[in-house]
Amino acid sequence: MIAGYVTDAAALALRHEPVPTEQVVAGAPTTASVELDTIGDVEVGVWEMTPGAMRDVEADEVFIVLAGSADVVFDDPALPPIELRPGSVVRLTTGMRTVWTVSETLRKIYVAG
């Protein structure tokens, strides 16, 4: 990104790849991401997933959902499942184990350190 200029994260073209077979829970989801910038050791980017379900191990990040809908279930039984919709802001920490079930292609902006 160039300081003082706008990037339309909602309209940014992304190149999708299939989710690795060992992570797929249901369907045939694909994901895509692009790093927009770094500030020190912090990465800012856009990530997207198509409908389906996948397991993941999370990084340390905060994200904001731009579009789509999904449910995220944590392996840790102390954490309740969350519903993601445009405007949702979520904090994840390194090592959290999750299952993402996307019902409408989900696009988020993430900030990860």
The pLDDT of residue 105:
98
pLDDT of 3 > 90? The answer is: no
The domain made up of 17-112 is a member of CATH 3.40.50.720: no
pTM score, whole prediction = 0.94
The pLDDT of residue 49:
98
pLDDT digits (tens, 9 = 90+) for 33-62: 999 999 999 999 999 999 999 999 999 999
Which of these, 43, 103, 24, lies nearest to 67 by C-alpha position? 103
Any idea where the domains of the chain sit in the sequence? 17-112
pLDDT band at 27 (very low <50, low <70, confident <90, very high): very high
- Half-sphere exposure at residue 63, Cβ-oriented, CA atoms within 13 angstroms: 23
**Structure tokens, 14:** 């992304």
